[in-house]
Amino acid sequence: MSFTFFENTADFDDHLVSFDKVPQAADKENVVRRIKKNWDGVMSDLNGLAGIKLVKPDFDGVADALIKSGTHAVIFELVLTKAEFRLDVIAGNATWKAGSVKVPSELEDYRDFLSLLNGWSTADHNIVPDADFKKFNASNPKKPAKPTFKDFDEMAKKSKTDVDAFRAWAKGNSNGKKAFDAIDKTAKAKPADPARVAALKAINASLQDYYKTF
C-alpha cells in the first residue's frame, strides 16, 4: 500500500549551545567544553530512539566552525525525511551528520516508527507533532483485521459490520456484486431452495476472494 511519508525538521532546543557573545579564538576551550556537555544531554535523550545511533561529531571542528562563522550558537537539528531520521550538528555554515536510522517502508512499521517519535516529541523537540500524526493516521487508516468466519451465513449472524465491509468490496468486484444480488433476491427463500443454495455457494466463493485481499 502506497502512502506519503511525513517529513519535518526541528531544532533540539533543550540542548542548544548558545553564547551571550560571539566566541573568539581565545574562547575555544570553553566552547568545546560547552559543546561536549550538551552533547552528553543529546546522547541521553535521543540515542536509540526509534533505532537511531548517534555518532560523536568532531568537537574541535565544530568549535572552529562556530568561531570562524562569527555566530553564537551550535544547533542540534532533528531531520526526518522519507529516507531517514537523523541528527545534524550545525555551526555557522558547517553541518555534521551525527547519527541516523533508515525509515521503514511498510505502512504499519512506519506508523509505529512515527508513533515512537510522536510520543517522544515535546515543544522543545517537536519532530512529529500531535496534529501531524493524527493527520497521517486519518489519511492512512489501519487495515481492518482479516475476518475468520467459515462462511457467509456465519458472518451474517455474527457481524453486520463485516457484512457491510464485504458488501462494499463486492461493489467493485463483478462476481461479488452478482453474488450479493443473488443473496438479496433469495433472502426470504427457504434454505433448501435451489436458488438460495446456488446464491450461498456463489457468495461463499466471493468471500474467499475477499479474504485474499487482507
pLDDT of residue 128: 98
Q: Are 144 and 163 in contact (CB under 8 A)?
A: no
For the chain, domain boundaries: 8-139, 152-211
Q: For the chain, what percent of residues have pLDDT higher than 70? A: 100
CB atoms within 10 A of CB 49: 17
Whole-number Å distance between alpha carbons of 24 and 63: 10
- Of 1, 4, 10, 2, the C-alpha closest to 118 is 10
**Does the predicted model carry a pTM greater than 0.75?**
no
Q: Does pLDDT of 75 surpass 90? A: yes
| Average confidence score pLDDT of the chain | 96
Confidence of residue 214 (pLDDT cuts 50, 70, 90): confident
Residue 1 has pLDDT above 70, yes or no: no
| Model confidence pLDDT, tens digit, residues 177-210 | 999 999 999 999 999 999 999 999 999 999 999 9
Per-residue pLDDT tens for 100-116?
999 999 999 999 999 99
